A and B are shown apart, each in its own frame.
Chain A
Amino acid sequence: MEFIYSYLFMIGVFVAGIIFLPLLHHNVKSANYFAHGLAAMGSLAAVYCAIFVFVTAPQAFSIPLNLHMVVVSVRVDNLAAYFLAIIGLVGTAVSIYAMAYGREYFGRRFNTMAGLYLAFLLSMVLVVTVSHVVIFIIVWELMTITSFLLVGQEHDRPTSMKAAYLYLVMTHVGTAFIIIAFLLLWKTCGSMEFAALTAAHAEAWVRNTIFICSLIGFGMKAGIVPLHIWLPEAHPAAPTHVSALMSGVMIKTAIYGMCRFYLEFLGVGPAWWGGVILLLAIISAVLGVLYALMEHDIKSLLAYHSVENIGIILLGVGAGMIFASEGFPALAGLAWAAALYHVLNHALFKSLLFLGAGAVISTTHTRDIEHLGGLIKIMPYTAVFFLAGSAAISALPPFNGFVSEWLTFQSLFILPIALTGIAGKVVAAVLVSLLGLTGALAAACFVKAFGMIFLAKPRSAKVAAAGEVSGLMLVPMGFLAVLCLILGVFPVGMMGLLQRTLADFFAPGALGGLVNTEWYMIGFHSNSTSGGLSMPTLILFLAAGLMIAAVVYRAGGRPSVVHGETWTCGIIPASKMEYTSTGFSGPIRRAFGSILRPHTGMVFDNNDSPYFRIRVIVQMRITNVFTEMVYHPLNRYVVKLSRFMKRIQTGSVQLYIGYITVVTIIVLIWSTRW
């Protein structure tokens, strides 16, 4: 079957879902299965299209419309197919999950939400496949608007609407920058087709401007610090399955945009481009995970972790750009492969974590982990899948997070080849150690999150009402968890795929033989450095260790186990004795106090005497540095400027006529001078 048919089938499935959904607005249950079933089918078709392109060759076709300058052209090369496969995999899992999770929203504008969900998936699929500037902007806008409406789904809550408007404004500012970048490219090349866009021969200032505009524009969508402030508000406000899609897939479309610009349109640039990206990336990584540690709303926690992981992805991108500009295409391929691998891994484990969080929220009806606890006994399967996701995001072997973090470490470690001298070594060392810091902080954060939600005793009555969620929610989570494990144990296949994907963008043969193709290891050998990672060996030794441990345990007969209560110095243990999330992250909050600026306010309620207080209210908060030091002053300045400009509008009609007259005279004089 030709590619165009499968592509149109995929689009058609989504469109059919959107069109026929209103017919079912009487029967919410069947609308649920219809909409999400079609979404799952469309996502599977997306995976099929991606595999088609991988197996055969890059595909392109166009559908001409009779509009000036506008042709609907679709081009799916290996890079687009890679992102399409990611969207399809995550979309399938989330759609099946949504069939059960959607029941939360029955009676609360469910049909609108389902229709918007289909449109959201459709727009993301289109974003990574279209190859005409105008159509790209249109579908980008469609993605923004559908996600805005989905974030504001619960519009009776004021925090939801505030988050949605913040997201809308920031994304539109970003889109403005993207449009500027595209317009500059169009002016240089004269064509609006992606295949013809290249700024390799433009002047330096044009290239630099395109770089900066695309970085700001796509960075706003991806969530790079300091443009990230919409992320921790929008992701918690959206319904959880939509958050999973937004965090797992939508911010990856911004990375797709960056890949297009930096690999294809702009080509090889000066080394400072890579340096700027590296700086922004490491700041995002460290700050993202620091703020995540301080959160106790589970969805905000996961949203901040998305900021961190975008930072890790961009570390690979920045290193790749530096290698390319210094003339080391093979090493650049390694760094870009690390970034793209982390894109896939993050999509998988982040959506797994969000789905797990959604399962917990749907049964306990609270997002605050300080009210949870002991859920591992009530929701055993969800706990196992959430543990797999936590281990993956903390980069623990044998999961996939470890492999992509290893690749990122290696690409940073070999930076001194491109940046020679002591400066290069120091920069590489500092970057590697800061990346290690983020890994350790992420592990601490997920020990806290998993421990507070699932372990120990319940901290409030909300847990009593919980129960294990239905199979429709468990199966997608299990699927994602198994994928995480497989990608961790056998990364060789992915590396081969990534090498083929990236080979399009570098000189032919430059990447050849860089990555080892033995089945048991991934390794590279180039320019006097080499490195290798053998996951099967690691798994083998871990398994051997487990067997030895089991043998040691069983040697001399099985020991007897007596059950008792936790020792708490003789008092009956209660849930108030357990550690809280704020307490667990307390030492780190103090150690990083200069960045986080915690404030503690205490209100004492005395009863005549300070020795017999009735009540003490303690409020702890951390300062969100960016909101308070960058955005609020900017806000105030803009408002002040607007108030000043308001003086022109006096309300007097004669003055307005005067304005019009003056401007008309000036324009007439100006135009005659030409």
Chain B
Amino acid sequence: MLGQALLIAGFAPLVAGLIKRSKSRLQNRRGPGLFQLYRDLLKLFSKDSVVSTTTSWIFVVTPFIYLAAALAAAALTSLFAYFSPVFTSRFVDLFMLLYLFALGRFFLALASLDAGSAFGGMGGSREMFISVMVEPALLLVLLSVALRSHSTGLTAMAEAAGNNPLDLSAIFAATAFFIVLIAETGRIPVDNPDTHLELTMVHEGMVLEYSGRWLGMIVWASAIKQLVMIILFVTLFLPRLSADWPLVLQIAVLGAYVLGTAVTLALVETLTNKMRLFKVPGFLAVAGLLALLAIVAQ
């Protein structure tokens, strides 16, 4: 499982780079290279940090907790178990994953308030608001898969998802989870990850005070979280090849799915614009209703 965590952590900046590159290409620009985020992280890790005197130990501890929660979530997702039953475990649960993300978000919001700036407060308040809206929609969508497998264990859910044909309920559930994926990873139309205007920031606003290695850890952890959510989407909601196909082909298909999801995210980001914060509940309500329909259609 630790190997799984390191693998995901290693590939996360690549996927983030792919999304950025696709967005740039779609906007008729050349854009940064695919491996730019790796270079950015190396640069950040070599820089000094500036710490505000208003902050306390919570500010210093948060990047560690955020990265640890992201790595633990990466270790617990059902990536390797997707391929081989050797890695199944009975005691890895969906709620562990969700609440690990909640732990990271709790401390990041606290750290945003710690610096005593209005931007941090704004970012923290908006992030908690979005998380309040996302939580029920996310649970409804994941339940539509869990109800089929009669268990909220991640490996059982992945198995049940793999065994089921692509029917209407699965399409609804996949669309609903895609909407929640956009919200949870902080992409347009919910939050703009490339914005430089503090008044429009949500996630970036929370980490405005961070610099140097701490900022590197937080950026990396966000990329890991994004990849974990994409893997969750791919393993639970997209159809897969049956187990008799060779392992290499299955891995290739999974990789293609992940890259395809990344490009689709970039496409969605280019086709829409950031919506007003108070329209986000309506947006997520669509996801919730689709998920309810998926449950009813089972």
Q: Are B51 and A563 in contact (CB under 8 A)?
A: yes
In the complex, which residues of chain A have a beta carbon less than 8 angstroms from the beta carbon of B296?
A: 422, 425-426
Q: Are A559 and B47 in contact (CB under 8 A)?
A: yes
A562 within 8 Å of B (CB atoms): yes
B110 to chain A, nearest CB (A): 6
> When each residue 364-379 of chain A gets 1 if its CB lies under 8 Å from chain B and 0 otherwise, what string results?
0000000001101100
Q: Are B103 and A376 in contact (CB under 8 A)?
A: no
| CB-nearest residue of chain A to B46 | A556
A186 to chain B, nearest CB (A): 44
B63 within 8 Å of A (CB atoms): yes
B171 within 8 Å of A (CB atoms): no
B122 to chain A, nearest CB (A): 7
B71 within 8 Å of A (CB atoms): yes
> When each residue 430-457 of chain A gets 1 if its CB lies under 8 Å from chain B and 0 otherwise, what string results?
1011101101110110111011101111
> When each residue 581-609 of chain A gets 1 if its CB lies under 8 Å from chain B and 0 otherwise, what string results?
00111111011000000000000000000
Q: Are B147 and A577 in contact (CB under 8 A)?
A: no
Q: Are B110 and A457 in contact (CB under 8 A)?
A: no
Q: Are B140 and A429 in contact (CB under 8 A)?
A: yes
> When each residue 505-535 of chain A gets 1 if its CB lies under 8 Å from chain B and 0 otherwise, what string results?
0000000000000001101000011111110
Q: Are A590 and B278 in contact (CB under 8 A)?
A: yes
B132 to chain A, nearest CB (A): 4
Contact-residue bracket for chain A: 35 or more
| CB-nearest residue of chain B to A406 | B95
Given A406-B93, A541-B1, A394–B102 Cβ distance below 8 Å? Answer: yes
- Residues of chain A from 398 to 415 with CB closer than 8 A to chain B in the complex: 402, 406, 409-410, 413-414
> When each residue 94-106 of chain B gets 1 if its CB lies under 8 Å from chain A and 0 otherwise, what string results?
0110111011011
In the complex, which residues of chain B have a beta carbon less than 8 angstroms from the beta carbon of A563?
A: 50-53
In the complex, which residues of chain A have a beta carbon less than 8 angstroms from the beta carbon of B56?
A: 376-377, 454-455
Pick from B27-35, B79-87, B123-131, B187-195 the stretch touching chain A.
B123-131
In the complex, which residues of chain B have a beta carbon less than 8 angstroms from the beta carbon of A374?
A: 54
Q: Are B103 and A583 in contact (CB under 8 A)?
A: no
Pick from B111-119, B226-234, B240-248, B252-260 the stretch touching chain A.
B111-119
> When each residue 533-559 of chain A gets 1 if its CB lies under 8 Å from chain B and 0 otherwise, what string results?
110011001111110111011011001
Pick from B14-22, B150-158, B160-168, B263-271 the stretch touching chain A.
B150-158
Pick from A30-38, A210-218, A227-235, A567-575 the stretch touching chain B.
A567-575
| CB-nearest residue of chain B to A412 | B143
Cβ-defined partner of B213 (8 Å) among A428, A440, A446, A553: A553
A83 to chain B, nearest CB (A): 28
Q: Are B54 and A436 in contact (CB under 8 A)?
A: no
Q: Are A455 and B47 in contact (CB under 8 A)?
A: no
In the assembled complex, the Cα of A548 lies from the Cα of B66 at a distance in Å of: 12
In the assembled complex, the Cα of A395 lies from the Cα of B156 at a distance in Å of: 24
In the complex, which residues of chain B have a beta carbon less than 8 angstroms from the beta carbon of A533?
A: 91, 93, 95-96
A58 within 8 Å of B (CB atoms): no
In the complex, which residues of chain B have a beta carbon less than 8 angstroms from the beta carbon of A413?
A: 143, 146-147, 152
Q: Are A436 and B139 in contact (CB under 8 A)?
A: yes
Cβ-defined partner of B71 (8 Å) among A377, A430, A541, A585: A541
Given A396-B102, A425-B295, A433-B288, A566–B115 Cβ distance below 8 Å? Answer: yes
A582 to chain B, nearest CB (A): 11
Given A433-B143, A440-B135, A444-B132, A562–B106 Cβ distance below 8 Å? Answer: no
| CB-nearest residue of chain B to A550 | B64
Q: Are A577 and B118 in contact (CB under 8 A)?
A: yes
Q: Are B292 and A444 in contact (CB under 8 A)?
A: no
Cβ-defined partner of B124 (8 Å) among A447, A528, A556: A447
Q: Are A549 and B71 in contact (CB under 8 A)?
A: yes
Cβ-defined partner of A568 (8 Å) among B53, B72, B117, B136: B117
In the assembled complex, the Cα of A428 lies from the Cα of B144 at a distance in Å of: 11
In the complex, which residues of chain A have a beta carbon less than 8 angstroms from the beta carbon of B2?
A: 544
Given A578-B121, A579-B113, A588–B129 Cβ distance below 8 Å? Answer: yes
Q: Are B151 and A591 in contact (CB under 8 A)?
A: no
Q: Are B151 and A531 in contact (CB under 8 A)?
A: yes
| CB-nearest residue of chain B to A395 | B99
> When each residue 200-215 of chain B gets 1 if its CB lies under 8 Å from chain A and 0 otherwise, what string results?
0000000011001100
Interface of A is mostly: helix
In the complex, which residues of chain A have a beta carbon less than 8 angstroms from the beta carbon of B64?
A: 546, 549-550, 553
Which of B53, B128, B147: most chain A Cβ within 10 A? B128
Q: Are B71 and A397 in contact (CB under 8 A)?
A: no
B273 within 8 Å of A (CB atoms): no
In the assembled complex, the Cα of A564 lies from the Cα of B296 at a distance in Å of: 56
A381 to chain B, nearest CB (A): 12
In the assembled complex, the Cα of A537 lies from the Cα of B296 at a distance in Å of: 35
In the complex, which residues of chain A have a beta carbon less than 8 angstroms from the beta carbon of B103?
A: 391, 396-397
Cβ-defined partner of B50 (8 Å) among A387, A446, A562: A562
| CB-nearest residue of chain A to B61 | A546
In the complex, which residues of chain A have a beta carbon less than 8 angstroms from the beta carbon of B124?
A: 447, 451, 579, 584
Q: Are A530 and B76 in contact (CB under 8 A)?
A: no
Q: Are B128 and A447 in contact (CB under 8 A)?
A: yes
A620 within 8 Å of B (CB atoms): no
B217 within 8 Å of A (CB atoms): yes
A172 to chain B, nearest CB (A): 38
B155 to chain A, nearest CB (A): 11
Cβ-defined partner of A591 (8 Å) among B53, B95, B278: B278
Given A455-B110, A533-B93, A591-B133, A566–B295 Cβ distance below 8 Å? Answer: no
Q: Are B71 and A548 in contact (CB under 8 A)?
A: yes
B71 to chain A, nearest CB (A): 4
Which of A391, A422, A560, A566: most chain B Cβ within 10 A? A566
In the complex, which residues of chain B have a beta carbon less than 8 angstroms from the beta carbon of A267?
A: none
In the complex, which residues of chain A have a beta carbon less than 8 angstroms from the beta carbon of B277?
A: 587
Q: Are B128 and A425 in contact (CB under 8 A)?
A: no
Given A395-B99, A433-B143, A533-B91, A567–B113 Cβ distance below 8 Å? Answer: no
Q: Are B135 and A542 in contact (CB under 8 A)?
A: no
In the complex, which residues of chain A have a beta carbon less than 8 angstroms from the beta carbon of B182?
A: none
In the assembled complex, the Cα of A49 lies from the Cα of B126 at a distance in Å of: 50
In the complex, which residues of chain A have a beta carbon less than 8 angstroms from the beta carbon of B65?
A: 546
Given A538-B96, A548-B71, A456–B53 Cβ distance below 8 Å? Answer: no
Given A450-B110, A532-B91, A552-B217, A444–B128 Cβ distance below 8 Å? Answer: yes
A331 to chain B, nearest CB (A): 12
- Chain B contacts to A: CB under 8 angstroms: 1-2, 5, 45-58, 63-65, 67-72, 75-76, 90-93, 95-96, 98-100, 102-103, 105-106, 109-110, 113-118, 120-122, 124-126, 128-129, 131-140, 143-144, 146-147, 150-153, 156, 208-209, 212-213, 217, 277-278, 281, 288, 291-292, 295-296, 298
Q: A447-B128, A455-B114 are in contact. List 11 more A-B contacts (CB 8 A).
A: A426-B296, A451-B114, A455-B110, A457-B116, A523-B90, A549-B63, A552-B213, A560-B49, A567-B209, A568-B118, A577-B118
A-B contact pairs, 22 of them (CB 8 A): A374-B54, A413-B143, A429-B291, A429-B295, A430-B292, A433-B135, A439-B135, A446-B106, A455-B113, A528-B150, A531-B93, A552-B67, A556-B46, A559-B49, A563-B50, A563-B52, A563-B53, A564-B53, A566-B54, A578-B118, A587-B278, A588-B128
Q: Please provide the 5 A-B residue pairs with the shortest distance between their CB atoms, ordered closest to farther.
A: A579-B121, A545-B68, A456-B116, A451-B113, A545-B71
